[in-house]
Structure formats: C-alpha cells, structure tokens
Amino acid sequence: MHPLPDRAFKTSLFRAGFGAPAGPEAGVLNQQGKRIKIALAVQYKILYILRMNKFKPVIFLGSSLDDLRTFPVAARREAGYQLDLVQHGHEPEDWKAMPTIGQGVLEIRIRDASGAYRVIYVAKFSNTIHVLHCFQKKSQKTSRQDLALAESRYRELLKESGK
C-alpha cells in the first residue's frame, strides 16, 4: 500500500489553501483558513503514520530464528531488511518462487562476501509472514534436506490453519 494520501485527499488540501495562490482574493481564507490548514496538516500526518504502521507480523517456525541468528552480521541485516520490505507489502529485492515446497512459498536470496544465504517464507496466511527455514547455501543447487525441512514446516502450517 502506498503511504501517500489518495487524489481526493490531495484535492481537499489544495482547496483548503495548500498550494492555492496567495493574494487579496485569498485574504479571507488566509485569516480564517489558518486553523483549517493546521487541522488538515495534522490529519495528513496521522494518515501517513497509520498507513506506514500497517505491516504483517513475522512468525519464525521451528529453528528458523536460531538459524537466522547464525548468519554473519551483514547477511542477517540484509535478511531483516528484506523481511521488512515484505512486512510492508513490497517484494524483496532478490527472490524466487518455490512451488516445489508449496503454493505461495518464496525464497529470499542473499549474497554476502562469506557466501549465499536463503530465507524461505510464505506470506499468504492471515496477514502474517511465516518464515519456514533459513540456511546458508553451500552448493549451486539447494540441498534436498533444506527443501524437505521447509516443506514439512509448510505442511504443518497448512494443518494448523485448516487449509
């Protein structure tokens, strides 16, 4: 969701004097409209803050949080930043769909000087992001063990959600 107000709200700001030309014909608005301008500015700030605070919480399944904590600091920060993007309704910068694990499962790809790291998550359930698995990738192809672990956690999640 975009944090800026919609077109109708912007138009009402213009009509109330924001961006309107100043001059003798606008003198009455400038004297009486000062309170309106302040009130609208406060409303705009409140709307902006409310829209910026809408985010999905992150739930780490199994040992995924402990696994993420084993990442080097730079990779851990990047993973946190990418999850923050997802929380606020944006796509991560480098991601790949993982249909072999399940529908709606995505993988965040992180490259660091110390290696390649992955965060597998699903964000389609009840306004929550579920991190299924975090791991360091040691070969070109993702290991069967990592895929199987993420898939089993996904199946558990499906059972719990009743879908």
For the stretch 70-79, pLDDT in tens is 999 999 999 9
pLDDT recorded at residue 13: 43
Q: Does residue 9 carry a pLDDT above 80? A: no
Mapped onto helix, strand or coil, the DSSP state of residue 105 is strand
Phi, psi values for residue 126, rounded to 5°: 40, 50
pLDDT recorded at residue 132: 97
Q: Does residue 31 carry a pLDDT above 70? A: no
Whole-angstrom distance, CA of residue 118 vs CA of residue 85: 16
Letter string b/e over residues 36-71, b meaning 16 or more CB atoms within 10 A of that residue's CB: ebeebeeebeeeeeeeeeeebebebbbebeebbeeb
pLDDT recorded at residue 48: 58
Length of the chain: 163
* Residue in the structure block whose two tokens are 């709307």: 47
pLDDT recorded at residue 18: 46
